[in-house]
Structure 1
Amino acid sequence: MAWFSLIIAGILEVVWAFSMKQSEGFTKVGASVVTIITVVASFLLLSYSMKSLPLGTAYTIWTGIGAIGAFAVGIAFLGEPAGTLRILAAVMIIGGLLLMKLSSAA
């Protein structure tokens, strides 16, 4: 259950990052509310997962999901560039996440 919670927390991190961008500096109420709600939910789920997962593993996976998700959302919805080096960097992050998962005993 900890891993499931951690994955959902990471997905919510992507949602709050995107909604924060859409809030335009918290000047748009709807996007600002979504940001605040998903930040709180993401932190609560991260906290829950840390009850049984090592700190380094949980935090690394959470931030990694957020980084890769925000990268993908930026390309897909915000017209951000998907250059070769950026994609290589994303692949390296994913590799690091897989190694972190494989090295975790939980």
Structure 2
Amino acid sequence: MTPVQKNENSGRAWTMLLLAGVFEIGYALSVGGSEAFTVLSWSIAAIVFFLLTLYFLSAALRTIDVGIGYAVWAGIGAVGAAVLGSVLLNQPLTLIQAFWLAVIIGGVVWLKLADSAKLRAELR
């Protein structure tokens, strides 16, 4: 595999991971709306989002190391669910919680940067 192909595969994998994170947010919010799977429409949405997040996560993990991929996926899901839960579901979000969510975002960004081919080449 050429360096260009590896870079393209890595880019696709990170796109898949980002989509998995978005679907994880949808899953978390749908589970909340399902009221313990007693509301049919929210329950169906939760199942669909769950299957989508699993598919895209598993596709991304074909290229991205599982530890890094899982940490990024969980971070996207956690931050997204907290922020959108606050905006859409009127759930409280304190300033200190927002600060720690920002720390998670910073960690996700640094994990992505650490996975870049350029950085790996510099460390060798």
Could you state the TM-score of these two structures normalised by the residue count of structure 1? Answer: 0.95
Q: For residue 96 of structure 2, what is the aligned residue in structure 1? A: 85
| Counterpart Cα distance in 1 of 2:28 and 2:94 | 21
Q: Secondary structure at the match of 2:36?
A: coil
Q: Which moved more, 1:79-88 or 1:47-56?
A: 79-88
Q: For residue 18 of structure 2, what is the aligned residue in structure 1? A: 7
Identical aligned residues as a percent: 33
One-letter identity of the residue aligned with 1:49? A
The 3 A distance-change label for structure 1 pair 91 and 68 is same
One-letter identity of the residue aligned with 2:52? A
Q: For residue 114 of structure 2, what is the aligned residue in structure 1? A: 103
Q: For residue 53 of structure 1, what is the aligned residue in structure 2? A: 64
RMSD: 1.0
How many residues align? The count is: 106
Q: For residue 63 of structure 1, what is the aligned residue in structure 2? A: 74
One-letter identity of the residue aligned with 2:111? M
Unpaired stretches in structure 2, ≥5 consecutive residues: 1-11, 118-124
Which structure is richer in relative contact order (CA contacts within 8 A, separation 6 or more)?
1
Q: What is the Cα deviation at residue 104 of structure 1?
A: 1.2
* Larger CA Rg, structure 1 vs 2: 2
| Counterpart Cα distance in 1 of 2:115 and 2:68 | 7
Could you state the TM-score of these two structures normalised by the residue count of structure 2? Answer: 0.82
Unpaired stretches in structure 1, ≥5 consecutive residues: none
One-letter identity of the residue aligned with 2:44? V
